[in-house]
Amino acid sequence: MFYIDSVNNNKIAVYDLNPEGKKTIFLVHGWPLSHKMFEYQVNVLVDYGYRVITMDLRGFGNSDATAAGYDYDTLATDLYYVIYYMGLCDITLVGFSMGGAIATRYMTLYKGYGVSKLCLWGAAVPSFTKTENNPYGVTIEYVNDLINQVYRDRPKLNKDFGNMLFATNVSEPLRNWFLDISNSASSVGEIGTAISLRDEDLYNELHRICVPTGIFHGEKDKVCNFGFAKIMHREIPNSRLFAFPNAGHAAFYDELDNFNKAFLGFIRK
């Protein structure tokens, strides 16, 4: 692990595995997790000879927690600082859930600098909440309740939310592992990004994505409805939809083998 200074000298924790790998895969985690969530993809990617870079978003994992800066523009700028200062190019950018929203904003705010392919996993795109263009979103009241729970009992919120990730019967130790990752987040980061999930809308940006895009989504997703994937596929040019019928929000684990096979197939082409 090392740190890269971003906006206002905020330190972003970065992890670089297999720097001499044949191609770079850059993974951006979701709410309220950290880089650790990608363990069951990172091992496979390294085995196949890829360079794998992950980061902790500000306020999460080992990155600095700041009082502000949890809007998508700032989070995308943190991502830009990492990509720019590491001199990365021809990367496959992967974003899960909220990380998918941040990756989408990066593609429009920075014109996809350094990115040759985009992968959106259970992405909170085009919006997490219900809008005119996304009837599948959750209510604003639902997100406000999540925020209130952070103020009152964050560990319970994280446990309850974590249980919504899966559509299959995963082991209790695995659920506890995800809970530990969630509890490592700062409360200020968890609240600030929840506000962004509530308020930000990417719909009008989707047509501006100009790289091949893989949309990976569980059909039983209770966090970001599968309808999100249909909208992304319709609005993003040159996109391909990978649906996982037995998976929830964490399709990357619910259908682990099928998911990794599909993901590897997409990034190889």
| Residue 171 is a catalytic residue | no
Instruction: Spot the catalytic one: 97, 127, 196, 239.
Output: 97
Q: Which DSSP symbol is given to 246?
A: T
- DSSP per residue over 215-232, as a string? EEEETT-SSS-HHHHHHH
| Residue 5 is a catalytic residue | no
- The two tokens of residue 178 are 């995800």
Instruction: Spot the catalytic one: 35, 217, 233, 249.
Output: 249
**214 in helix, strand or coil?**
strand
| Residue 35 is a catalytic residue | no
- DSSP per residue over 6-53, as a string? -GGG-EEEEEEE-TT-SSEEEEE--TT--GGGGHHHHHHHHHTT-EEE
**Which segments within 47-102 are labelled E, that is strand?**
51-55, 91-96
Instruction: Spot the catalytic one: 221, 233, 239, 254.
Output: 221
Catalytic residues: 97, 221, 249
